[in-house]
Structure 1
Amino acid sequence: MNARLNFNFPCPIRFGPGVIDELADHLINQGLKHPLVVTDPVIAELDFFIDILEKLRAKNLAVDVFSEMHKNPVKSDVLKGGGHYHDSVCDCIVGIGGGVALDVARAIVLRVNHHRDLFDYDDLIGGDKYVTEDVPYFVTVPTTAGTGSEVGRSAIISEDESKKKRILFAPKLMARQVFADPELTMELPPHVTAATGMDALTHNMEAYLAKNYHPMCDGIALEGMALIAKSIEKATHHPDIQSRSDMLLGSMMGAVAFQKGLGVVHSMAHPLSSLLDTHHGLANAVNLPYGMAFNYKGFEARFDKMAEFLGVIDGDGERVVDYLFELNQRLNIPTQLREIGVKEEHLNPLSQLAIEDFAHPNNPKPVTLEDFRSLYHKAF
């Protein structure tokens, strides 16, 4: 896995070790001179990010950086970023980072020429109909193998006060070019690699089970599961370029697949981020076995197929839940909510937020408020 490859699905992707070195020439070839580079405050201080900026500036690109964002991004982060773009007279946006940075970058792309209240563009209330103006040229550079936001068309941004998550969506928000360089993920610490990797696995599994009919997404999700299952432990504990490449591909595949929908696990995870500021990947990882156990009955054939691609013994779908618990343990991820700061008094408000979440309507079976209460208590 040392080759540099081009994939054109769902948008142009330049993939392979070292492709980040092509970023400056790509921008210049588009006639661009002044990128706003959007990243999170942690990445903004890292050596590899500083090296990227130096290489851009060495090609006489005027670079501005915006990194003022919360761990779970909120509306005011996006408004500040949009103001920075205009004040600095930038001509394009480069998002570098994981899901947080790329969500904020994509929302800024929307904000630049769309001036209604940001949440008027919420996809769940038909806000995509207002996305009518041109948007800046947009490049994404993933630094984790988790959300797959680099190939997405949406951004999840929370309300500042309530922390309710809103979805900004439009085909125009897809990156014009992705530079997916597995070398940028090599220095991720094990706990981040594990949590973001389980996020990617959750995307693939929930997409495969989602009730909408989309056989193309199903096929992508299954192969994404296979890539992640064979590489996540090595990428976490003994990373090499092959395992990191497989994880990056599996992450992007999950993001493509979940246009079909997500499910109960994400609806359990989102409130943990909103209420307790829990890392999204960690929240998905802890809840994944419980959500899959809830979905098993009635969907045994789908679980058998997942078991086959995950490498579960005998392809037995009934063993998938145990496999997930064991995988979390091997990755040093907690298996109970109490281990990540959840207290018993949080369970009812978490359940209320979960039933209001946008993901579970696509779950293969209906989920009630009582179901969420039961699931949280089991996971607690």
Structure 2
Amino acid sequence: MTDRNVPDLTDPALMEDPYGGYGRLRERGPVLRGRFLEGTPTWYVTRYDDVRAVLGDSRFANDPRSVPDAPEKSPRDHALKMFGVPEELTGYLVGTILDSDPPDHTRLRKLVSRTFTVRRVSQLRPRVVAITDGLLDRLPDSAENGVTDLIEGFAYPLPSAVICEMVGVPEADRSLWRDWGKSLVARDPKVMPNALRSMVDYVHDLIGQRRSAPTDDLLSGLIRTHDEEGDRLSDVEMVTLVFTLVLAGHETTAHLIGNGTVALLTHPEQLALLRQDPGAWPHAVHELMRWCGPVQLPRLRYATEDVELAGTLIERGDAVQAVIVSANFDPREFDSPDRFDITRVPEAHGEGHVGFGYGAHYCLGAALARQECEVALSALFERFPSLSLAVAPENLPWMPLPGNRRLARLPVRLEG
């Protein structure tokens, strides 16, 4: 039986109501002792300023091997074993750009960061608009009895098409990535290992194809870097960069679009403001990311030395879980944080939320995700002004995934 006084990612109450559950933990204290997925003791950091402190402090490492005299196995390794991932494949999950620290993280990020600058993303906007329009043209064809699944027909295909084009994944193969992504997120030991192995094999094959016939895409550029400057990019790093970019580049954005649609349909007064002033969409996307962002917990951090945080001593080697969802609803930082308000303007701290993270691991594709969400939602509500939920909000099928807020389906009616 779950002890509700101890933070535990697998607690069904936390997965069902993360806003209320983590909010109650936040008000109990800024730093709480809890458990990670497989039971490892973990510090949960719940308040806005302290979450930013953890995410921005190099003394909290993403890679447990950065901790001096660290044990051979980390909580992440134990969790992967619990999910059935064989040891020969774990390097593809724990050696990603998301899990590395400087200097490796700096080196890997430099290899791809130019692709995701604000200027390069702005140049992509016409293509994002074209893909969006094409998907909206076809969306009515998927309706049955007037109801269509917006996740399957729109929210997933849009960011998937964009990132796959950028990286160099052929259009015919994109449905494979949707299936692999679902299997990895579900963390089911019956399917996760096979999905990971298939994905790794696929990327190796795609690298072979691009090496024989290079094109103007990110993968071809990575291959040139690998072949000409092998010390800057290893084989495993190239594979993990590809599937990390593809999965991270569409999974979270798809669910931001889905969650954002629900937020606006259940707050018609906010949608009305956007219809009156389309120039408010950029502010709206930031508020959506704060209020219903799909990622509620980032990667674990590990203290590389003893650190005092909010009056609590975190000892070297301890695992630390920053809680984005409770930070983004912290009344110490946000006025009436439970209120969804697209006119909200941050008083300080840049974006005013930590939905895209903070510090060295701030989301590489944040500008692209914001643009895709803005284009997608504005076009969706303009094309289908009578769009409505096909089920009551309380009956929406939220997936019971620790640290994530995402819908299995989003049934909507396109016409009134």
TM interval, shorter chain, is under 0.3
Q: TM-score, normalised by structure 2?
A: 0.24
Q: TM-score, normalised by structure 1?
A: 0.26
Higher RCO (CA-CA < 8 Å; seq separation 6+): 2
Determine which structure has more spread, i.e. the larger CA radius of gyration. Answer: 2
